[in-house]
Amino acid sequence: MPPPRITIRNLYSDLAASILHFQNDTSAVEESRNRIEASLSDGQTHYGINTGFGALANKRVADHQLGQLQRNLLLSHAVGVGQPVLPEITRLMLRLKIHGLGLGYSGVSLPTFKRLLDFDRLKLLPVVPSRGSVGASGDLAPLAHLSLPLIGLGEFWNDHSTAGLPALDVLQDYDLTPIELAAKDGLALINGTQLMAAYGAYVLENCVRLVDLFDLAAGMSLEALQGTIKPFDQRIFDIRPHPGHGVVAASVRKLLEESEILESHRNCGKVQDPYCLRCVPQVHGASRDALAYATTVLETEMNGVTDNPLVFENGDIVSGGNFHGQPLALALDFSAIALAEFASISERRTYLLLEGHDGLPRLLMRETGLNSGFMIPQYTAAALVSENKVLCHPASVDSIPTSLGQEDHVSMGSISAVKLLQVFENVETVLAIEILTAAQALDYRLPLRPGRGIEAAHRLVRERIPHREADYLFQEDLAKAFALIRGRELLEAAGME
């Protein structure tokens, strides 16, 4: 029975099921390993098994040195630098590595595979520097650091997510001894795209929630600004049927059902709203479609094998390029651009809420002058949107040859991955600012009721964050708004779950 397929929507439960599968069934690993063992006595040269690596592929290594060859591979490639990968992303890296090796095309030895399962079971997370990969033979340096504790080197995180516990000390605490790597082990461990895939999966899994929250924020702003629902008409979508457009338009229409605010200005004579309101289906929808494409790429990657060489059922050992990060590099760059556009249009709605439209007080407080009102949170949103413009320069258009020219085209996908996370975090903050600002503006439309979904979400915001009529420490309310968007309570309240 094959392991479960890993999906973005059910990322964590699917990976847990995969780990459970391999804890109970290592037959694919054992069969693949048997093919490697058979190759050691066939008298032929096999890349990375009895040869050097990269530019040293033409150097044959003696049989008695094959274990040392694999150990040296980890030592020489563990040259990562920079801030450590977040523990939650490192855990994804580890589980994705186990899943890829467990599919049975890598030839990893059973003791090495089982020790990785031990790390997962015991919640032992290696410390992995975030910089040093060019996404060529996958994520060589980060995966070398992920693997160092197998041989008693490197570091683990402690229980409080503080880096720096010596791996050998931690292994001793758990009565584990460093393992001896066998032929092909080191190569199987460090070839692969698990750093890129882990970052991408982490962000895209969070985007399942985030894209709906942006539609909710747009609906709140639309009501607060007394915008029109007409641009969300199904007939507009029908004659330009990009999938995301239809999803967004239907979502906002549902949120605004039974709106007294809409009814109050239905015949006001206003012809058109600014684009940040009128074009929500087109802009949000395009970003949704881009993220859907990236999700397809990530799911293909997570369920594939990105090692080299690959070991096939008939015993063939074939050197190829499945470790090249280009599919992920492009998808992750595209994801960053898509997320940045959510924040870009959100910041414009926040700005519009401050201008005093249709009876709203300018800067959303009645006594301004003495008070700055909601002026300055928009500065923060503007700063983050501007920062995203720099971060969205695609890393995937760059390539610097490595390995003495053997790796003459590289993906730079790890850079795409690391900056995608920063864009995502910026975008979350911009969303929190819009939710906070739109809730303040909606207060001034009372006693008219917004749409049923908007009203429920607004009520939840007000349960956590009070209306303000004087300056205060905005950071406190921003933190509360951020906590709301990090969970699913707002979506549940609005009926979007």
Q: Which residues contact 107 (CB under 8 A, 6 or more apart)?
A: 32, 33, 35, 36, 49, 184, 188, 311, 317
Taking the C-alpha atoms of residue 94 and residue 330, their distance in angstroms, rounded to an integer, is 23
Helix, strand, coil content of the chain in percent (nearest 5): 60, 5, 35
User: Which whole-number Å values give the CA distances from 257 to 128, 251, 354, 460, 471, in the listed order?
Assistant: 49, 10, 25, 18, 34
The Cα 273–Cα 343 span in angstroms is 19
Nearest in space to 28 (alpha carbons), one of 101, 98, 114: 101
Question: Is residue 447 reached through a cis peptide bond, with omega within 30 degrees of 0 on the bond before it?
Answer: yes
* pLDDT for the residue 62: 85
- Helical spans, DSSP H, in 25-162: 27-39, 66-77, 87-102, 110-121, 140-147
- 154, with CB counted inside 10 A (0-12, 13-18, 19+), is buried
- CA-CA distances (angstroms) from residue 5 to 2, 83, 202? 9, 31, 17
DSSP letters for 359-398: GPPGGG-SSBTTB-TTHHHHHHHHHHHHHHHHHTS-GGG-
Q: Domain residues of the chain, as ranges?
A: 11-192, 199-493
User: Nearest 5 degrees, angle CA 179-CA 181-CA 182?
Assistant: 135
Q: What is the pLDDT of residue 47?
A: 83
Per-residue pLDDT, 336:
98
At residue 428, φ and ψ (nearest 5 deg) are -60, -40
Q: How far is it, in rounded angstroms, from Cα 353 to Cα 356?
A: 7
11-192 maps to CATH 3.40.630.10: no
d(CA 274, CA 124): 52
Q: Tell me which residue has tokens 């790796």.
A: 407
How far is 69 from 61, CA to CA, in rounded Å?
8
Helix, strand or coil, per DSSP, at residue 138: strand
> What is the DSSP-derived secondary structure letter of residue 162?
-
Quote the pLDDT of residue 51: 80
* Two structure tokens written together for 227: 């915008």
Pairing type for strands 129-131 and 81-84 reads antiparallel
Taking the C-alpha atoms of residue 210 and residue 255, their distance in angstroms, rounded to an integer, is 16
H/E element holding 126? none
Q: Which amino acid makes up residue 10?
A: N
User: Annotated catalytic sites, by residue?
Assistant: 47
Q: Are 439 and 220 in contact (CB under 8 A)?
A: yes
Asked whether the domain spanning 199-493 has the same topology as the one spanning 11-192, the reply is no
* d(C-alpha 283, C-alpha 160), whole Å: 40
CA–CA separation, 341 vs 285, rounded Å?
Answer: 11
Digit-coded pLDDT (tens) for 131-146: 999 999 899 999 999 9
- HSE of 327, CA atoms in CB hemisphere, 13 A: 21
Tens of pLDDT along the chain (497 residues) come to 889 999 999 999 999 999 999 999 999 999 999 999 999 888 788 887 888 777 677 788 888 888 898 999 999 999 999 999 999 999 999 999 999 999 999 999 999 999 999 999 999 999 999 999 999 989 999 999 999 999 999 999 987 777 789 999 999 999 999 999 999 999 999 999 999 999 999 999 999 999 999 999 999 999 999 999 999 999 999 999 999 999 999 999 999 999 999 998 887 767 799 999 999 999 999 999 999 999 999 999 999 999 999 999 999 999 999 999 999 999 999 999 999 999 999 999 999 999 998 999 999 999 999 999 999 999 999 999 999 999 999 999 999 999 888 889 999 999 999 999 999 999 999 999 999 999 999 999 999 999 999 999 999 999 999 999 999 999 999 999 999 999 999 999 999 98
CATH annotation of 199-493: 1.20.200.10
Contacts of 87 (CB under 8 A, 6+ apart): 125, 157, 161
CB 100 within 8 A of CB 311: no
> Phi and psi of 310, rounded to 5°?
-105, 145
pLDDT value at position 462?
98
Count of Cβ atoms closer than 10 Å to residue 243 Cβ: 12
Q: Which two tokens stand for residue 280?
A: 């929500």
Question: Quick one: pLDDT at residue 174?
Answer: 97
- End-to-end, the C-alpha distance of the chain in Å comes to 33
Residue 105 contacts residue 306 (beta carbons within 8 Å) = no
Tell me the two tokens of residue 114.
Answer: 């089982």
Residue 363 structure tokens: 């800067």
